[in-house]
Amino acid sequence: MVLSETIPLRTGYEMPKIGLGTWQIPRSITALRVMEALELGYRHIDCAPGFRNMREAAQGVKDFFDAHPDVDRSKLFITNKIWNTCHSTQKCLEQIEMMLEEFETTYMDCIFIHWPFGWAEDEPGETGMWPRGDDGKMRYSDVDFMETYRALEQAREQGKVRSLGISNFNMQQAERVWREATHKPSIIQLEMNPYFTQLPYRDFCRQRDIVVMAHMPIGNPGSSVFRKHGDPNLLFDATLQSIARIHGKSVVQVVLRWIIDHGFTAVIKSQDIKRIKQNINVFKFKLTPEEMARIDGLNENFRILNPLIGNFDHPLFPWPYKAPLKFK
Ligand SMILES: NC(=O)c1ccc[n+]([C@@H]2O[C@H](COP(=O)([O-])OP(=O)(O)OC[C@H]3O[C@@H](n4cnc5c(N)ncnc54)[C@H](OP(=O)(O)O)[C@@H]3O)[C@@H](O)[C@H]2O)c1
């Protein structure tokens, strides 16, 4: 069993450097894969109501604890996210209660605000998590993300979450949270991989002792949700392949090592047990400074996750857009 190395957070807690991402693991196998990942040594599971399988991920965690009563809750690091339809204080606090109930725990290790923009909060049930108007656009809320962050701070003061985070915020938005927060963010989750190295954002985090958690660390190959036909695929990159050959590792392991050697962390998704096992086995080799520089040089500022459709004119949409998109 390979246990992930950990990294200290500004709150004093330790976070595993590699975690299992759960987005796009089918509901039917999520509990099993989470349980198996924990059996293999993963100690960080990244969840979200917006991934539509949080309940199943929670089940996997509970199954693991049932099978291993000797493992203390404090050994696991569970991250979760406030969804866009829960940005008001009341909805945010309710969603935190729901998370604690699902996981049968008294605290989350970190809760992120999933996106800076909020959506209408008036539709019940799971379809209400994606509230669309007749024109096909999302219906927005005007809740400011600082209201959501204050609710997270309140939950932290009540011991319901240990560390706070933001996800998919641009640097200006992150700077505002940093400036106005009482409990500063400990972790920022953002898209980062060798084709999108996020250098200025990384510096921003480093200067403030905020840990970077890379999501989509290998660029989400194989998914067409945000990727377009012909988009570059890291798995076939010649530089990464040549470095992988030198170390007798896979391209994915090299990318994860590149993230760790920079002092960052990553959550990587796989629903394949062999790959889940492979992806945490990255602690027994190191890249040379020259290899690190070669990988840094692959940057193309290539962003995959860009949910413009239905969001492009939200005042809190984090990234620039070129032209309004068509709906319906
Ligand atoms: N905050 C946010 O908005 C946000 C957005 C995106 C992602 N995330 C988090 O970050 C996690 C990771 O991002 P992601 O899932 O989008 O993309 P990713 O981890 O970069 O890539 C996942 C894809 O890579 C494949 N893969 C995994 N390990 C592999 C290996 N060793 N060899 C070959 N292929 C491999 C997986 O296929 P198989 O499953 O078939 O192995 C899957 O198709 C998510 O699951 C989620 O927890 C957060």
Q: Which amino acid is at 234?
A: L
C-alpha of residue 21 to centroid of ligand 1, in Å: 6
| Binding site membership of 79 for ligand 1 (Cβ less than 6 Å) | no
C-alpha of residue 182 to centroid of ligand 1, in Å: 33
| Binding site membership of 18 for ligand 1 (Cβ less than 6 Å) | no
What is the set of domains in the chain, with CATH numbers? 6-296 (3.20.20.100)
Q: Give the pTM.
A: 0.96
**Can you say which residues are annotated as belonging to the binding site?**
114
C-alpha of residue 103 to centroid of ligand 1, in Å: 22
H-assigned helices in 208-323: 238-247, 251-261, 273-280, 289-296
The token pair that represents 121 in the structure block: 């909060």
Nearest CA to ligand 1 atom 31: 275
Question: Which residue out of 195, 269, 277, 317 has the highest number of ligand 1 atoms within 8 Å of its CB and is therefore the one to mutate?
Answer: 269
Helix crossing, 273-280 with 27-40: angle to 10°?
40
**Can you say which residues are annotated as belonging to the binding site for substrate?**
114
Tens-level pLDDT at each residue, the chain (328 residues): 889 999 999 999 999 999 999 999 999 999 999 999 999 999 999 999 999 999 999 999 999 999 999 999 999 999 999 999 999 999 999 999 999 999 999 999 999 999 999 999 999 998 899 999 988 889 999 999 999 999 999 999 999 999 999 999 999 999 999 999 999 999 999 999 999 999 999 999 999 999 999 999 999 998 778 888 888 999 999 999 999 999 999 999 999 999 999 999 999 999 999 999 999 999 999 999 999 999 999 999 999 988 877 888 899 999 876 555 554 4
